Structure 1
Amino acid sequence: MKRIATLILSLACLQAAAQLPPQNPAPAAAQNQPATQYAAPWFRYYSDGRAVVKRDSLYGFVDRSGAEIIPCRYNKAYTFNDGIAMVRQGYEVFAIDTLGNRLDLKVKIPQFYNRDFEYFVRWVCSRLPFVSDNEYRQLRSEVVNAVITIGKDGRIASCESVTPCDPRALGKVRGVAMNSPAWSPGQVGGAPVEIRYLLPVDFRHLQPLKCYPVDAQGRRIHRDIVYPLFQGQYASQFHSWFFRNLRYRSGEYQQAASGIVRVAFTIDSKGKLRDIEILRSHNDMCRLKTLETLKKSPKWTPGTIDGQPVDVRYETSFKFHYR
């Protein structure tokens, strides 16, 4: 049991990892098939001399020579450690050895908000807005490949880069990951274990906040700005406040529906939220609740140009979910 207490489950993330640059790229694969048969480019994170690859939406393993030693037949695959890897076929998760033989081990992978690792990757990326237009230009091409350690208590204990990157980009990823809510810890044989994942974050897929400075008449000013802050944090944190403060009177909840409300508003030079505009709404009740909630917003830290506060027009969306 001890030999798998630090089991590495580096997730071969379909949407994120498939975009990352290769590490230690392997030659042609087994059976004289070219390496281009696999999803490429692929970030090859080797452990126990094995790396996860994807072909035709299924996952398998290659060795350092590029030979496909375990066929691509799994819906999901996690890297080896101490001769053991976790894989998923359908909804079943189980362990295999280096030859692909199934092992009689009861395993449970950690979950974040009752979801798998792909959700955590998206969660981290959604909380990585840029501080300013200038920072966006400087970091927009960065790629961070970080190994995170999920402790037995479900908290992330470390986040370290395994490929070269800008320290500022790594700092952003580390800040979000280390302060994330606790996971449901992984288990082996019913006992919690420490687990490590490979967290790939491609800054090329991130976008700056959709906001820009405006003059007293609401006309756009074409200047670089430092973006407004909400309660000392990135503006994306405003969404958490919004849904915590969403209130329904008797009978109103039943009139709401799942969908998206797109809004625009101005954060003026004194930090007040004003000039609310509903750009798109799927439901009249959600439209009404959005207006009511935004009017209750506490003051922001205003955006600035050359250190001077300015009015900033900001656009965002609120996703309503109802069962």
Structure 2
Amino acid sequence: MRTPLLILVLLATCWLPLQAQTVQTDSSSRPDHLIYTVVQQQPEFSGGMSKLGQYISENLRYPKAAQAAGLSGRVFIRFLITKQGAIENVKVLKGVSPEIDAEAIRMVASMPNWLPGKVDGQAVDCFYNLPINFSVR
């Protein structure tokens, strides 16, 4: 009679981790409007990461004053991707200078819609962090 109990324990041990997938909501979420920070399927720029890199290289304008001053670095941007894929609430998490930070915000805010993140197969609002490099060549 111990074998069925052992099988039941083994099944429960395998099943519980599958049910507790890592999905987290942001502290600014409200019960009527959840905003996720971790999702099961990440949001994606239409065309993938290579298209995102191409979009950035074609649309990012290095501020002349910052370039003349030799300022460079990585700006970390956080933005909301809505369940419709729209970009909202673009903010700097870590900046380089006011001019460079403003350009990173402008470029991200002007992006076309993304493919939204998903939880349990449903599109959800979620935050996305994006590093943007500025380097003087």
Give the TM bin, normalised by the shorter chain: 0.5 to 0.7
Structure 1 runs not aligned, ≥5 long: 1-133, 138-210
Higher relative contact order (CA 8 A, sep 6+): 2
Aligned partner of 1:228 in structure 2 is 43
Residue type of the partner of 1:230? F
Q: Rg bigger for which structure?
A: 1
Aligned: 1:258 with 2:72: yes
Structure 2 runs not aligned, ≥5 long: 1-17
Aligned: 1:321 with 2:128: no
Rounded to whole Å, the distance in 2 between the matches of 1:302 and 1:263 is 17
Q: Give the paired residue count.
A: 114
From the two aligned structures, give the one with the greater helix fraction: 2
Residue type of the partner of 2:43? P
Aligned: 1:308 with 2:122: yes
TM-score by structure 2 length?
0.66
Rounded to whole Å, the distance in 2 between the matches of 1:222 and 1:249 is 31
The alignment yields a C-alpha RMSD, in angstroms, of: 3.3
Whether the aligned pair in 2 keeps the contact of 1:268 and 1:312 (CA below 8 Å) is yes
TM-score by structure 1 length?
0.30
CA distance change for structure 1 residues 256 and 286 in 2, over 3 Å: closer, same or farther? farther
Q: Which secondary structure state, in structure 1, belongs to the residue aligned with residue 102 of structure 2?
A: helix
Aligned: 1:286 with 2:85: no
Whether the aligned pair in 2 keeps the contact of 1:267 and 1:302 (CA below 8 Å) is yes
CA distance change for structure 1 residues 258 and 222 in 2, over 3 Å: closer, same or farther? closer
1:244 to 58, 61, 65: 58
Aligned partner of 2:10 in structure 1 is none
Residue type of the partner of 1:225? Q
Rounded to whole Å, the distance in 2 between the matches of 1:257 and 1:301 is 33
Aligned-pair CA distance for 1:319:
1.5
Tell me the alpha carbon deviations over residues 207-239 of structure 1, each in whole angstroms, 9 at most, x when there is no partner.
xxxx965585486658742111111324x7524
Aligned partner of 2:12 in structure 1 is none
Aligned partner of 1:100 in structure 2 is none
